[in-house]
Amino acid sequence: MENASLTGALRVPELVIITGLSGSGKGTVLKAIEDLGYYSVDNLPMDLVEKFAELTQTSAQIHAAALVVDIREGEALERFPALYAKLRRKIQTRLIFLEADDSTLVRRFSETRRPHPLGQKESVAHSVRTERKALETIRGLADIIVDTSKFNVHDLRAWMQEKLKGSGQSPTIALYVTSFGYRHGVPTDSDLVFDVRFLPNPNYIPEYKHKTGRNAKVAKFIRSFPQTMEFMDRVADLLRYLMPHYIEEGKSYLTVSFGCTGGHHRSVMIAEEIAKRLKSASYTAKIVHRDIAKPV
């Protein structure tokens, strides 16, 4: 199913079901939704889901509800697709599926030192692959699929609350503008990559060598070339054109990366300027200078 947005006026009553891979942030999303006034339940047994959904329709105190259903259900999870189809015929129900790439999930389990729900007989990496395969059918039912690999807890919470505010606001997208050095490799999480090595390099000017593109004199030097200004104008126009289309498609985040040789001067200045232009167009852009602290 094509990913759908969760924006727009909240129709009452509503049931949101959160599912997905262990370590993908289901608990964070549930708490974010609860703070918006949803009656929330984590790890509700499968046999009680239908009864819970019925109660949300009859209770005067519950205007919207959310619950988590995931791999902890064990074999009972096989009944979920049929149950979900039944619920949708009765009430307004939406399914959010959270996921992340394997390396991110393994890292999160390592940082929290918590065991994977599938047990400790196999490695976490093996359990992640097993769980991903087990949830393929449920993933295909989702109204919205969110890859949380690039989100920290705070970003995910803020993004989900923005999606579910129900205040008629326009859909949003988490935007990351990254600078990097090609000598250190292209960031693997890049969606769009622009090579700015065609611009004159301040690294060869002794006064600028150990400064960065955030320095006013370095930035002024890079801007002094007409190709710099034309490049930034064209890229900013392209991104302003693309953003509404990415949002409409349901993309939850976008990483735009600018690379120069070392990631200190040109890419840094360009990333700062493009982020500023996107902010002026009412987009929230987070700047990441990946290689700015590495040796020149």
Structure tokens at 253: 């985040």
pLDDT at 165 over 80: no
How does pLDDT run across 37-80, given as a tens digit for each residue?
Answer: 888 899 888 889 988 888 888 777 777 889 999 999 888 899 99
CB atoms within 10 A of CB 64: 21
Parts of the chain belonging to CATH 3.40.50.300: 14-164
Confirm or reject CATH 3.40.50.300 for domain 14-164, answering yes or no: yes
CA distances from 120 to 25, 124, 132, 192 (A): 20, 8, 17, 38
Report d(CA 12, CA 30) in Å as an integer. Answer: 18
State residue 167's pLDDT score. 39
Instruction: Give 34's contacts (C-beta < 8 A, 6+ positions apart).
Output: 40, 66
Report d(CA 100, CA 146) in Å as an integer. Answer: 8
Instruction: Give 163's contacts (C-beta < 8 A, 6+ positions apart).
Output: 5, 6, 7, 171, 172
How does pLDDT run across 241-294, given as a tens digit for each residue?
Answer: 999 888 777 677 789 999 999 999 999 999 999 999 999 888 888 899 999 999
If you average pLDDT over every residue of the chain, what do you get? 87
pTM beyond cutoff 0.75: no
State residue 80's pLDDT score. 92
